[in-house]
């Protein structure tokens, strides 16, 4: 895709900035892979990766291919769904507690329930699964429909067909799920006993011997007759659903998984991608999110009197640290001139258990000045980068920068208690936006993040200083909750909308001069 694209930029960052510089919040919950909840030494027998993968399946499994309802839509967050016997346990609540922390206006709750297990699986021995974003969060619970272990084979086959999977795919999907985790005594006392095991304090009997590694050991142990899977060799045959499912094609599928780790991994990559992409009818997912080779990050412009403070970073994918590398930022201004500065190395990030490395450079002028000072009259229209003499300009398009509507740091606080402030937004002469507004992320009555706009009115009088490139629009605000973050948005006559990357709170503003 072409940068900038706010939603894809956010999804790409959540998917690929996993560890190190500017890392997102997910990967460290599964590093090491047996982390449970927020970390520390874990003797429970449980793990985040297991909770996340099961939760995603339970969110999806309500799907009905015939009427298009259900699917990955985070309906599993509703208490009404969690209270159903099919969703017994606290794993769903744990998952929500961790993964919903990455949601924002661009990353839905259902996307976070997808990103979690995808990142967990690829960091814990499993395949890279193609990720598409854009899931919409349900406004109400879905119909019940998650399979339960005491149901018979015909019921399970019918259930998977309703979800959109054949019998063979059912065998695959169950073994891709049950290569991780196990069954807990607390919630399934009729399936597994109390273990009294200091290494499994929550009495979890695991499906295979490598229960936080995504591998084909479940199949190997099943085929070789050494399995301890409590849904295969459980003392209660009624709940031996894995046994009935795995054996339902004469062990052909499980046999092929046992023989080939690669076949298991590639089959799971395909089946799990389909599981994650099973969404209610009408939801349009993005294309598969792939890492941008050159990606500006958090580019911001703030007006400081006659100067624009231009800050940001750029990430180069598949590049490690190299002190001898030179990186230049080139930017064009409104006068048709090009400026050039050398950028400072700012860090390295990694992804997919270290399989990928990215090098980051920041727009600092010096180590202490985290921005470039640009003459406001000249402004900035687009950027390019030159890395060791190689031009990076998105195939000739450049990386466009909007300096049309920017926060002015003449904004100030009029009162501290309650917090009140006077926000000044600078609008570039000649732009003539249809609207300028503050944006605030709020939760609706069912926890979905929406953006509420507060209109800013244009100045009543023409700017006193007509030679200034910007006119100041302003708004007076009070903040009852003291820490509301605002971004700045504007809309053009053709409906195109823009949002700033910089966020502001009233409590951060300097006092207004009296």
**Position among 149, 234, 421, 433 found at the interface with ligand HEM (CB under 6 A):** 149
Minimum CB distance to ligand HEM smaller for 174 or for 401? 174
- What's the token pair of residue 28? 């460290």
Q: Is 188 in the site for ligand HEM (CB under 6 A)?
A: yes
Q: Position of tokens 């795995």?
A: 246
Site for ligand HEM in 65-94 (CB under 6 A): 89, 91
**Position among 126, 141, 147, 296 found at the interface with ligand HEM (CB under 6 A):** 147
Minimum CB distance to ligand HEM smaller for 120 or for 299? 120
Asked if 376 contacts 356 with a C-beta cutoff of 8 angstroms, the reply is: no
Q: How far is CA 35 from CA 50, 203, 213, 223, in A?
A: 10, 17, 12, 29
In the complex, least distance from residue 128 CB atom to ligand HEM, rounded to whole angstroms: 17
- 70-97 exposure pattern, b = at least 16 Cβ within 10 A, e = fewer: bbbbbbbbbeebbeeeebebbbbebbbe
**Position among 3, 36, 57, 297 found at the interface with ligand HEM (CB under 6 A):** 57
**Position among 70, 71, 125, 182 found at the interface with ligand HEM (CB under 6 A):** 182
Minimum CB distance to ligand HEM smaller for 167 or for 377? 167
**Position among 102, 180, 319, 374 found at the interface with ligand HEM (CB under 6 A):** 180
Give the C-alpha separation, 380 to 126, whole Å.
Answer: 44
Give the C-alpha separation, 151 to 147, whole Å.
Answer: 7
Q: Count residues contacting ligand HEM (CB under 6 A)?
A: 27
Q: Is 212 in the site for ligand HEM (CB under 6 A)?
A: no
Three-state secondary structure call for residue 400 = strand
In the complex, least distance from residue 188 CB atom to ligand HEM, rounded to whole angstroms: 5
Give the C-alpha separation, 281 to 285, whole Å.
Answer: 11
Give the C-alpha separation, 368 to 514, whole Å.
Answer: 31
Element counts in the chain: helices (H) and strands (E)? 11, 21
Window of 36-44, 178-186, 368-376, 426-434 that interacts with ligand HEM by CB under 6 A: 178-186
Q: Position of tokens 């499912």?
A: 245
Q: Is 177 in the site for ligand HEM (CB under 6 A)?
A: yes
Site string for ligand HEM, 227-246 (x = CB under 6 A): --------------x---x-
- Give strand pairing partners of 347: 360
Three-state secondary structure call for residue 367 = coil
Asked if 53 contacts 44 with a C-beta cutoff of 8 angstroms, the reply is: no
**Position among 21, 54, 135, 504 found at the interface with ligand HEM (CB under 6 A):** 54
Minimum CB distance to ligand HEM smaller for 34 or for 111? 34
Window of 120-128, 170-178, 255-263, 290-298 that interacts with ligand HEM by CB under 6 A: 170-178
- Report the interface residues with ligand HEM, using CB under 6 A: 46, 50-51, 53-54, 57, 89, 91, 147-149, 156, 173-174, 176-178, 180-184, 187-188, 204, 241, 245
């Amino acid at each position: 895709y072409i940068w900038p694209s706010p939603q894809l930029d956010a999804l790409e960052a959540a998917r690929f900035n996993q560890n190190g510089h500017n890392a997102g919040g997910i990967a460290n919950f599964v590093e090491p892979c047996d982390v449970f909840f927020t970390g520390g030494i874990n003797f429970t027998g449980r793990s985040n990766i297991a909770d996340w993968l099961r939760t995603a399946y339970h969110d999806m499994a309500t799907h009905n291919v015939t009427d298009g309802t259900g699917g990955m839509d985070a309906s599993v967050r509703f208490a009404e769904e969690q209270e159903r016997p099919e969703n017994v346990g606290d794993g769903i609540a744990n998952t929500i507690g961790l993964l919903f922390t990455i949601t924002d206006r661009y990353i839905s709750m259902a996307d976070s329930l997808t990103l979690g297990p995808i990142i967990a699986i690829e960091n814990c021995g499993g395949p890279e699964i193609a990720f598409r974003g854009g899931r919409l969060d349900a406004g109400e619970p879905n119909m019940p429909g998650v399979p339960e272990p005491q149901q018979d084979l015909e019921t399970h086959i019918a259930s998977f067909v309703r979800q959109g999977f054949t019998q063979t795919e059912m065998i695959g999907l169950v073994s891709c799920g049950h290569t991780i985790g196990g069954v807990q005594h607390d919630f399934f006392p009729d399936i597994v006993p109390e273990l009294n095991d200091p290494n499994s304090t929550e009495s979890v009997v695991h499906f295979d011997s490598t229960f936080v590694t995504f591998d084909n050991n479940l199949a190997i142990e099943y085929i070789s007759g050494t399995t301890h899977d409590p849904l295969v060799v459980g003392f209660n045959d009624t709940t031996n659903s894995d046994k009935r499912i795995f054996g339902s094609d004469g062990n052909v599928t499980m046999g092929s998984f046992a023989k080939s780790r690669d076949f298991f991994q590639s089959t799971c990559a395909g089946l799990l991608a389909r599981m994650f992409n099973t969404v209610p009818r009408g939801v349009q997912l993005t294309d598969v999110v792939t890492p941008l080779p050159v990606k500006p990050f958090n580019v911001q412009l703030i007006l400081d009197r006659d100067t624009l403070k231009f800050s940001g970073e750029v990430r180069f994918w598949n590049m490690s640290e190299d002190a001898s590398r030179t990186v230049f930022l080139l930017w064009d201004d409104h006068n048709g001139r090009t400026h050039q500065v050398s950028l400072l190395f700012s860090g390295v990030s990694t992804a997919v258990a270290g399989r990928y490395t990215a090098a980051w450079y920041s727009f600092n002028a010096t180590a202490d000045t985290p921005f470039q000072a640009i003459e406001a009259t000249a402004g900035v229209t687009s950027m390019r980068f030159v890395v060791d003499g190689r031009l990076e300009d998105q195939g000739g398009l450049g990386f466009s920068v909007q300096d049309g509507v920017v926060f002015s740091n003449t904004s100030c606080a009029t009162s501290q208690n309650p917090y009140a402030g006077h926000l000044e937004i600078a609008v570039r002469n000649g732009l003539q936006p249809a609207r300028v507004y503050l944006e605030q992320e709020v939760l609706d009555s069912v926890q979905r993040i929406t953006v509420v706009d507060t209109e800013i009115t244009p100045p009543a009088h023409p700017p006193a200083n007509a030679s200034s490139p910007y006119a100041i629009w302003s708004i007076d605000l009070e903040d009852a909750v003291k820490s509301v973050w605002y971004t700045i948005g504007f809309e053009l006559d053709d409906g195109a909308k823009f949002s700033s990357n910089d966020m502001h709170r009233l409590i951060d503003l300097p006092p207004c001069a009296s």
